[in-house]
Amino acid sequence: MRATRVVEGLAASTPFIGPERLMRERGMRELVRLGANESAFGPSPRAVAAMTAELERLAWYGDPDSYDLREALAGRVTCQLEQVLVASGIDELMGLCVRAFLEIGGVAVATRGTYPTFAYHVTGYGGRLETAAYTSEGSPDLDALAATARRERASIVYLANPDNPSGTFLDAQRVVRFYEALPPDALLLLDEAYADFADPAQLAPPCFDDRLVRVRTFSKAYGLAGARIGYALTTRTNAERLERVRLQYGVNRNAQIGALAALQDEAHLAWVLRETAAARAEYEALARELGTTTIPSCTNFVCIDMGSAAFATEVMAALLDRGVWIRKPGATPLDRYIRVSAGTADMRRTFAQAFRAVTAERRSIATP
């Protein structure tokens, strides 16, 4: 008995090693979680109240149409409800897009070392991933991505904007120019997981075209990562295509309720954005104090330059020994950075103490 050719051909891979596993392996009871860009500021209390009040009805399936939430989202972005598709997070939506738009053996293009779930789906569905490196400043290289897409006749091009793990942001004009430079039959999968942290006036314009699927989430600014809920914005035609392979009851009922309440709590979101900006500023100041630099971030995390990949890895491990969990980019040229999520003032203090201690032996991080 064998699995499919595609699955037999896959190497076992773990796109994310969770902090729970790290704690189990080390016999630790708690960690300061600054590794997954979760919101340290939590979900809206209104979302928690709405979800708590509805918990008793968990015997019921959620609305397979996610109607109320889609209606609210369509009102926000000014589109039709039929152009909004809700799923259990961007991670699931990326899988649906790959399944719907990439043939087995087809080519997809992404930045080398960017958010890993897209690559995971591409190989998982039997596609081939081609990559272009980040620029030396740490942003996705739009010219190289477009050239790779044209050369490889790509079916899907993935761009995270704002980007993870770099935190960089490309303004509307640059994204539009990039979109226009792609082959006419390539789909742009625009991952806007961090769009809530960006200046709305600088986001790519609300464009509804069959060549574009944008995906967004309640996992980051809205603090609902554990609830698993996100949405796609696209044309009715594409939404209907994705509908054909969508899991009808894949969205948690409680998540639908929490997301709707969270969307209506604008004050909480504004507070999260202010706290996140304060955390970024503090990390930047800390990096300066220690003689190094950060990549300007438009997200809820900051990359700090450790001078070399080896030292970045060492620092990450030493922080873990001190109970602080962060991550680091895996591919050059960003692999010499560590990536730290925005924490509360307490978490930041713990991080800063541990970070100063583990880097204390080096006079300057940037010149090891």
Ligand X SMILES: *Cc1c(COP(=O)(O)O)cnc(C)c1O
By CB under 6 A, name the binding residues for ligand X: 37, 89-91, 115, 160, 164, 191, 193, 217, 219-220, 225, 230
Q: How far is the CB of 60 from ligand X (least distance, A)?
A: 23
146 neighbors 184 (Cβ within 8 angstroms) = no
Q: Report yes or no: 44 and 222 within 8 Å, Cβ to Cβ.
A: yes
CB of 108 or CB of 290, closer to ligand X? 108
Give the C-alpha separation, 334 to 112, whole Å. Answer: 10
Q: Measured from the CB of residue 87, what is the shortest distance to ligand X in angstroms? A: 8
Is the backbone peptide bond immediately before 333 cis, with ω within 30 degrees of 0? yes
Minimum separation from the CB atom of position 77 to ligand X (A): 17
CA 70 to chain centroid, in Å, comes to 21
Nearer to ligand X (CB atom), residue 219 or residue 359: 219
Please give the angle made by the CA atoms of 42, 45 and 50, to the nearest 5 degrees: 120
Nearer to ligand X, 95 or 307 (CB): 95
357's tokens:
């201690």
Question: Are 97 and 239 within 8 A, CB to CB?
Answer: no
Q: For ligand X, which is the closer residue by CB, 41 or 115? A: 115
CB of 181 to ligand X, least distance (A): 22
**Block residue for tokens 């972005």:** 77
- Kindly tell me which of 164 and 168 has the beta carbon lying closer to ligand X: 164
Nearer to ligand X, 217 or 256 (CB): 217
Q: Are 156 and 108 in contact (CB under 8 A)?
A: yes
Neighbour count for residue 99 (Cβ, 10 Å): 17
Angle between helices 90-101 and 236-243 (to 10 degrees): 90
Please give the C-alpha separations between residue 321 and each of 12, 30, 32, 336, in angstroms, as whole numbers. 27, 12, 11, 20
Closest CA to 104 of 88, 122, 90: 122
- What amino acid occupies position 252? N
Nearest-angstrom CA–CA distance, 71 and 93? 19
CB of 129 to ligand X, least distance (A): 16
Number of Cβ within a 10 Å radius of residue 356 = 12
Residue 104 CB, shortest distance to ligand X, in Å, is 24
24 Cβ contact list (under 8 Å, min separation 6): none
Least distance to ligand X from the beta carbon of 187, Å?
A: 16
Contact of 129 with 119, CB cutoff 8 Å: yes
CA distance 120 to 225: 19
CB closer to ligand X, 62 vs 230: 230
Q: Which is nearer to ligand X, 38 or 282 (CB)?
A: 38
Residue closer to ligand X, measured from CB, 113 or 230: 230
What is the number of the residue whose Cβ is closest to ligand X? 89
DSSP code for 197: G
Closest separation in Å from C-beta 332 to ligand X: 19
To ligand X, the closest distance from the beta carbon of 307 in angstroms equals: 25
Nearer to ligand X (CB atom), residue 90 or residue 145: 90
- Smallest gap from Cβ 298 to ligand X, in A, equals 12
